[in-house]
Structure 1
């Protein structure tokens, strides 16, 4: 059963108002917009920092690394007795640093979890209220059916005092109605009636009527 023309309910802590499809759609659009914004921030992270650090490792040697000048004198011949020089240790090449992400993934997961929990809570609350409303409609229909059955059974009685009862049933909900009617004169041109209906869930209704004929 579709419920139409539902006004906008208040979405706040402690609110007991029902919400409509437009409010749910607006909330879904807001959640989608936030998620799209987070995804775009993750996709647009700068990658130039890693390239800059890598290019710094390919520099040219400095001028201090050139061999010392001999001042114009020819080098002396090695007689084979001089000790051989040990190779100079080379400095370790710094490793490129990993780019720092602009968005904390743990915080992003927490935000998404809170958004999912909030939307799931709203969905459960809406389902609960709609189910409660459906059951109440069924109970009202059961009471109406019980009152109709009671009235039909007392309408054809040709006595001064009339007492009737009826039972109604609608989609798992049941109700019972009891009514009394009194004829006020010998001609039967004036009557008075009193009736009531109730369900096992606590709903009650009562009616009073007067009829005059000539």
Structure 2
């Protein structure tokens, strides 16, 4: 059963008001905003920037030289190497080719980063758990309200056809694990039966209660 046109309920400690879909959507947007803010704060820290730098793809290294000049079979290159002495010869002479310098490794304090991520996860888990508990309470309250409505309807049907001056009725309602009891009294105020007075109340097994008072006049 869908309940429509539900007004905004009070979200505060001790509140027993029901909330609607718009309020749930607003709370979801607030949770998403806080999670995005936490991610931005993590990225803004030195540890977060270092982690992002470490996870970035490194450019491919330049291809290494094929060996001493002239190894490819080029006579001119081999001759130039022997003449200049720039390539290491068999007896150890000449200047060796420079090696590529290794890229600097960023220093990441993994302990601090893990603590920060743990705090963020703990906050998010706590917010989601609290949200789920509120939804569970709201579902149970809707079920109790439905049980009270069913009990009042059953009570009213049982007293509608009684042609007496005093009418006492009772009804029981059930909705998804929640039960309610409704009791009502109606009094015909004159002999013509053109005026009546009624009083009824409904109660659930969890403490919710509702009371109704009515007056009817006919001519």
CA 1:35–1:208 in structure 2 vs 1: closer, same or farther (change >3 Å)?
same
1:143 corresponds in structure 2 to 148
- Would the aligned equivalents of 2:152 and 2:171 in 1 still touch at CA under 8 Å? yes
Q: Provide the C-alpha distance between the structure 1 equivalents of 2:14 and 2:195, rounded to a whole number of angstroms.
A: 50
Would you say 1:21 and 2:21 are equivalent positions?
no
Number of the residue aligned with 2:192: 187
Quote the RMSD (CA, aligned, Å).
Answer: 3.1
Q: CA 1:2–1:142 in 2, change beyond 3 Å: closer, same or farther?
A: closer
Return closer, same or farther for 1:117/1:2 CA change in 2, 3 Å cut-off.
farther
CA-CA distance at 1:40 after TM superposition: 3.2
Go from structure 1 to structure 2 and tell me whether the alpha carbon gap of 1:186 and 1:7 turns closer, same or farther (over 3 Å shift).
closer
The alpha-carbon deviation at position 100 of structure 1 amounts to 8.7
Q: Looking at CA atoms only, which structure, 1 or 2, has the larger radius of gyration?
A: 1
- Asked if the contact 2:42/2:116 (under 8 Å) is kept, the reply is no
User: Does structure 2 retain, via aligned residues, the 8 Å contact 1:148–1:166?
Assistant: yes
Aligned to 1:130: 135
Give the 3 Å change call, closer, same or farther, for CA 128–107 of structure 1 in structure 2.
same
Provide the residue aligned with 1:117 in structure 2. 122
CA apart distance, 1:15: 9.7
Provide, for residues 30-85 of structure 1, a one-character-per-residue CA deviation record: whole Å limited to 9, x for no partner: 1332344454332437xxxxxxxxxxxxxxxxxxxxxxxxxxxxxxxxxxxxxxxx
In structure 2, the partner of 1:153 is 158
- Secondary structure at the aligned position of 2:154 is classed as helix
- Say whether the 8 Å CA contact 1:8–1:23 is kept in structure 2: no
Q: Per-residue CA shift, 1:171-204, capped at 9, x if unaligned?
A: 1111010000000000000000010000110001
Distance 1:107 1:15, change over 3 A: farther
Where does the alignment leave 5 or more consecutive residues of structure 1 unmatched?
46-98
Query: TM-score, structure 2 length as denominator?
Result: 0.63
- Scaled by the length of structure 1, what TM-score is found? 0.64
Measure how far apart 1:8 and its partner are. 10
**Residue 47 of structure 2 corresponds to residue 42 of structure 1:** no
CA distance 1:26–1:43, shift in 2 (3 Å): closer
Change (3 A) 1:8 1:186: closer
